[in-house]
Amino acid sequence: MLKFMRRHATGYMVKAMFGLIILVFIFWGVGSFRDREPIVAEIGPYKVSASEYDEAYKRTQEFYKMIYREKLDENLLKELNLKEKVKDEIVNRYMLLIAADELGLAVSDREFLEHIQGIDAFKRDGKFDEKLYVAVLQRNNIDPKKFETTEKNTMLIQKVANFIKDNGTFFSDVDVWAGYVKEKGMVNLSYNVFDPSSFRNKVDITEKELLELYEKEKESHRSENAYQLKYLVIGEKGPVKDDAAYMDLLKVKDIDKYGEQKGLHVVDLGMMKESEVMKRLKDMKVGDWLRGLKKGDITLPIREGGRSFIFQLVDVQDGKPLDKSVVLAIIKERIIAERSKNMARLAAEDAIARKSIGPGKETGFILRSAHEIKGIGDVPKDNIGLLALSKDKPLYGKPVEISGKFYVFSFKDARAPDTKEWQKEKDSYTRYFVAKNREEFFKSFMTEMRTNGKVKISWQET
């Protein structure tokens, strides 16, 4: 196995990947090369410096900039959760180094020499040139010894990852066929529906309870706020960059005056109800920033379709308290909806516990890999297992909520994939199945290392 790993680690694809990694290090710098820096994390015996984290974050951010371009704003960065992605990447790297030590894996001097000699950045006339190697590192302020340590670690990480995947996944033809059936086989399910609307007349709520809730909640029941927003538009060839305009507006605080000075068009939306603002500006994710604004505030540039929009909240009118009768009706409807839904769920759970499932409707044959049941709706991700029901496991063990209703599913019939199609697709599907399960096993291995408590991981705020 180790001989195979050595051959694999020096193969073409891995060399190409390592070449890309090394160029990233050359042009971005290596964060762990600086001494006497603040430590932001400890992963087992390894310490992560502030610069290592910062530079890993910058590299990841640049990667997403290439994908999203001008759409990569603060809101999208939050959605992508880059900080956690970078932390996970760093933790995984060091966890694999710990795993390599436990497994007794290492990168030999010969493997490393072949790797370095294969990098185009260090070649002259098609051959490795040691003087050029040293010159390239010096030009980028990188210490050769520390660079080689980092590169060896990168190679070792790839080696141990492949070792784990290769040794943790063994499949027979029976396993592959079972996977094929799971994706290409079909199942017909029987189902019973427990609709909350059928339980509404069973909900009991007293006048006293309503009045008590009213006293607690009356201040929160108001009409919509109204907002007056103005915004200016900055094109790609505008007279000023959007970041500079934002900084200027923080000082000027007058969007009309600034727009006139810079020759920028300012749009006044007038006083609008909150729901109207949400509808009109939905593509700009207005819900993420509108409610946090105070009168006179300026928003960060919002980039959309090659243009930037900067808003100012000119005025805001708070909603007025709703009439008591209206609030009481809202509260009553909420309570009825909540309790009738709970009754429906409990009735479905009771039917499953007693296995008293009557002859319900049928879904008809659907793919076991389907994400939707015709006439019912999308299958929730947490309940995708219901499509694996069989004669051996005929009843799904919990109610499935779809579009506000609760469904109890049971097995009715199954249909195996077409054997002729299987013979045509067997080889390609086997390759797909093995690759998929190698990755799944690797992910579960890494999760186990994190959760078994053997390796202590601690992060400081970054």
Q: For domain 222-317, which CATH number applies: 3.10.50.40, 3.40.50.1700, 3.40.640.10, 3.30.360.10?
A: 3.10.50.40
pLDDT, position 11: 37
Give Dmax over CA atoms of the chain in angstroms.
Answer: 91
d(CA 192, CA 212) in angstroms, rounded, equals: 38
Question: Which residue positions in the chain have pLDDT lower than 50?
Answer: 1-34
d(CA 233, CA 424) in angstroms, rounded, equals: 57
Across the strands, what pairs with 317?
226
d(CA 75, CA 289) in angstroms, rounded, equals: 9
The CA distances from residue 82 to 5, 58, 60, 89, 281, in Å, are 32, 10, 8, 10, 26
d(CA 351, CA 408) in angstroms, rounded, equals: 8
pLDDT, position 36: 65
pLDDT, position 413: 95
The radius of gyration computed from the CA coordinates of the chain, to the nearest angstrom, equals 31
pLDDT, position 462: 59
Rounded to 5 degrees, φ, ψ at 418 are: -65, 125
DSSP, collapsed to helix, strand or coil, labels residue 442 as helix
The CA distances from residue 353 to 344, 349, 350, 357, 401, in Å, are 14, 6, 5, 10, 17
User: Residue 81: left (phi > 0), alpha (psi -120 to 50), or beta?
Assistant: left
For the chain, the domains span: 2-170+442-459, 186-204+324-415, 222-317
pTM: 0.59
pLDDT, position 35: 53
d(CA 117, CA 267) in angstroms, rounded, equals: 60
Rounded to 5 degrees, φ, ψ at 397 are: -80, 0
What confidence tens digit (pLDDT) does each residue in 329-361 have?
Answer: 999 999 999 999 999 999 999 999 998 777 889
d(CA 344, CA 342) in angstroms, rounded, equals: 5
Cβ burial, residue 263 (10 Å; 0-12/13-18/19+): exposed
Q: For domain 2-170+442-459, which CATH number applies: 1.10.4030.10, 3.40.50.720, 1.20.210.10, 3.40.50.1820?
A: 1.10.4030.10
pLDDT, position 218: 92
